[in-house]
């Protein structure tokens, strides 16, 4: 136990400002916190849906929760059910086998809701496109408010994009 406490003390705080344009991000974050406070009662709840990704986007989404990015400091957190969510963050092309599940998830999410397509696949079909097995980009299946490009988007870009989307939508 002592060794654990000692390690925590030695590790210190790793959370850092994001990217090269640090002040801009923090300003963006601050502004968004205001919007989140006004529109979403202080916190933005994200439900992620993998509709047919390669799991690369999921790995980078996980990274948002590590100490370096710590997305929760902006009042943004990931939730376990679409019924608790303000935003659906959808990854991958929509496989035909996930089409109905995605539509039901969308229907379960209470309005007002935001749908964000994360990554090249979700945005434009990426490496997989449209086929017998794939409906292609998310917008082919449910209405999409914004897209974040990248294969996969880096956590810094993802964080920046989420903040920008909120600012654009609610200011």
**Residues within the interface to another protein (CB under 8 A):** 1, 3-4, 7-8, 11, 14, 48-63, 65-68, 78, 80-82, 92-93, 95-101, 103-105, 127-135, 151-152, 154
- Please list, in sequence order, all residues whose beta carbon lies within 8 angstroms of the beta carbon of residue 142, skipping any fewer than 6 positions away: 88, 90, 102, 103, 106, 115
Q: Supply the minimum distance, in Å, between the C-beta of residue 136 and another protein.
A: 10
User: Which run of H or E residues covers position 48?
Assistant: strand 44-50
For residues 46 and 85, what is the distance between their CA atoms, to the nearest angstrom? Answer: 5
Q: Supply the minimum distance, in Å, between the C-beta of residue 42 and another protein.
A: 22
Q: Would you say 31 or 157 has its CB closer to another protein? A: 157
- Please list, in sequence order, all residues whose beta carbon lies within 8 angstroms of the beta carbon of residue 65, skipping any fewer than 6 positions away: 71, 72, 78
For the CA atoms of 94, 100, 101, 107, the dihedral, rounded to the nearest 10 degrees, stands at 110
Q: Would you say 29 or 126 has its CB closer to another protein? A: 126
Q: Would you say 37 or 151 has its CB closer to another protein? A: 151
Check if the beta carbon of residue 95 is closer than 8 Å to that of residue 129. Answer: no
Q: Supply the minimum distance, in Å, between the C-beta of residue 135 and another protein.
A: 8
Q: Supply the minimum distance, in Å, between the C-beta of residue 38 and another protein.
A: 27
Q: Supply the minimum distance, in Å, between the C-beta of residue 139 and another protein.
A: 15
Q: What is the CA radius of gyration of the chain?
A: 17
Q: Would you say 35 or 50 has its CB closer to another protein? A: 50
Q: Would you say 38 or 133 has its CB closer to another protein? A: 133
């Amino acid at each position: 136990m002592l060794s654990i406490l000692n390690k925590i003390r030695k590790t210190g705080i790793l959370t850092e400002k994001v990217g090269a344009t640090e002040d801009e991000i923090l300003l963006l974050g601050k502004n968004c916190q205001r919007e989140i406070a006004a529109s979403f009662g202080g916190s933005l709840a994200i439900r992620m849906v993998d509709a047919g990704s390669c799991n690369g986007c999921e790995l980078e989404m996980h990274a948002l929760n590590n100490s370096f990015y710590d997305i929760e400091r902006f009042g943004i957190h990931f939730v376990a059910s679409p019924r608790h969510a303000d935003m659906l963050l959808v990854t991958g092309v929509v496989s035909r086998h996930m089409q109905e599940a995605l539509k039901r998830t969308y229907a379960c999410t209470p309005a007002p809701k935001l749908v964000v397509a994360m990554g090249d696949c979700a945005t434009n079909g990426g490496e997989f496109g449209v086929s017998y097995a794939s409906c292609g980009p998310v917008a082919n299946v449910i209405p999409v408010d914004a897209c974040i490009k990248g294969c996969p988007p880096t956590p810094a870009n993802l964080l920046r994009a989420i903040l920008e989307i909120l600012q654009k939508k609610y200011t």
